[in-house]
Amino acid sequence: MRFISISIVFVFLFACSAAIGLAQTNTDTIEYFMDYDGKTCGPDSAYYYRLAYKEGKWWKVKDFYTIERVKRMDGYFTNYADGKFDNKQGMFFFYHPNGSVANKVRYINNMREGLYKAYNENGKLIDSALFIKGKLVKFRYKWNDNGDTVYIGRYDADGSGEGYEEHFFDDGVISARGKIIYGEHKDSVWTYYHNNGKLSCAEVYEYGRCTDRKCYNINGGFEGDCEEMTPPYTDAKRNNRYHIEDADLLDMVQADYVTFTVKVLIDKDGKVLNAEMITKPQGTSLFYKQAIEQLMHMPRWIPGKEHNRPAKMYTNLLVTIVRSK
């Protein structure tokens, strides 16, 4: 099992129905299916498949996307107990569903150490940071898919995790700025802005906990208290459900109706940017591809808000496919 290939893994994955959700274990090999949240499940509802095997005293752990049949994660853990792997050590790689690298970083005693890099699905660098003992050090930069800088973080060189961050809209206008302590906790006053440069929200933090929040409209007028974030909705009734009438899709899975949940990314104008299945019915990769494609063309949503301005945001959507009446 130690040198099992990806192709053999997926022959096992789809041909062997004996593994119904509990981890299959022996002295040095562990394999099981996982749902979208990483919990152990049966193969019919699996989103990921995990293969782990001993290399010396450490566990080599590989996760795979069950739909795309490509690797999702590759790394080492030192401990396995009570059905859980713990204490990351060495290089960790995460991958997009198309097989390209999503991010990579080294861990020492479960803390990020050294240079962290993240990439979009086309392989373009979108995030770069330096860590010492899990804390941000010196710098962090983020870029959008066009290569424009959308984030700059500057941090102490001694590893205290204290620093100052600035976020930008895609056109370079300031989006937010404020102080960071202990690596990734907000502190003192953080200010957020509409894309016209006007203040949208001012928040006061104490060691990562928000103690006060005041909001302003797009013209700079004071509006009072508001929520930090409100999710996007499909309509004014705040429904997050969508029905598709498509007999051809149902024929692929030989059913009269199918229901599943997807994670959708909605932009600040209410357009669907991306969708991926969280729970899924049994079906072919073509079924998943065509079902997702229909969601990309659904009517515009009411966009979500973050710090009192429209924001690109993920949320869940319950999808039902029915036959035409």
Judgement on whether residues 57 and 105 belong to the same structural domain of the protein: no
* C-alpha–C-alpha distance, residues 205 and 193, integer Å: 17
Domain stop point among 226, 260, 293: 226
The total of other beta-carbon atoms located within 10 Å of residue 251's CB is 11
Judgement on whether residues 56 and 124 belong to the same structural domain of the protein: no
* C-alpha–C-alpha distance, residues 119 and 117, integer Å: 7
- 11 assigned to some structural domain: yes
Looking at residue 257, its pLDDT comes to: 87
Judgement on whether residues 109 and 222 belong to the same structural domain of the protein: yes
Judgement on whether residues 207 and 155 belong to the same structural domain of the protein: yes
- Between strands 313-322 and 241-245, the pairing is parallel
Judgement on whether residues 107 and 222 belong to the same structural domain of the protein: yes
Domain stop point among 172, 203, 226: 226
Sequential pLDDT tens for the chain (325 residues): 333 444 444 444 444 333 333 444 456 899 999 988 889 988 877 889 999 999 999 999 999 998 888 999 999 999 999 889 999 999 999 999 999 999 999 999 999 999 999 999 999 999 999 999 999 999 999 999 999 999 999 999 988 989 999 999 999 999 999 999 987 899 999 999 999 999 999 999 998 999 999 999 999 999 999 899 999 999 888 889 999 998 988 888 888 888 889 999 999 999 999 998 887 666 677 888 888 999 999 999 999 999 999 999 999 999 999 987 6
CB 239 within 8 A of CB 308: no
Tokens matching residue 200: 């949208």
- 213 assigned to some structural domain: yes
Looking at residue 67, its pLDDT comes to: 81
Domain stop point among 203, 226, 249: 226
Judgement on whether residues 32 and 117 belong to the same structural domain of the protein: no
Closest Cα to residue 259, out of 50, 93, 45, 96?
45
- 155 assigned to some structural domain: yes
Judgement on whether residues 119 and 50 belong to the same structural domain of the protein: no
Judgement on whether residues 150 and 213 belong to the same structural domain of the protein: yes
Looking at residue 205, its pLDDT comes to: 96
| Side-chain half-sphere CA neighbours of 211 within 13 A | 9
Contacts of 29 (CB under 8 A, 6+ apart): 1, 2, 51, 52, 53, 54
User: How many distinct structural domains can be found in the chain?
Assistant: 3
- 279 assigned to some structural domain: yes
Judgement on whether residues 21 and 104 belong to the same structural domain of the protein: no
Judgement on whether residues 112 and 142 belong to the same structural domain of the protein: yes
- 274 assigned to some structural domain: yes
Judgement on whether residues 249 and 290 belong to the same structural domain of the protein: yes
- 63 assigned to some structural domain: yes
- Domain range for 210 is 100-226
CATH of the domain at 143: 3.90.930
Judgement on whether residues 219 and 113 belong to the same structural domain of the protein: yes
- 89 assigned to some structural domain: no
Contacts of 266 (CB under 8 A, 6+ apart): 232, 272, 273, 301, 303, 304, 312, 313, 314, 315
Overall pTM > 0.75: yes
- 42 assigned to some structural domain: yes
Contacts of 11 (CB under 8 A, 6+ apart): none
Looking at residue 68, its pLDDT comes to: 84
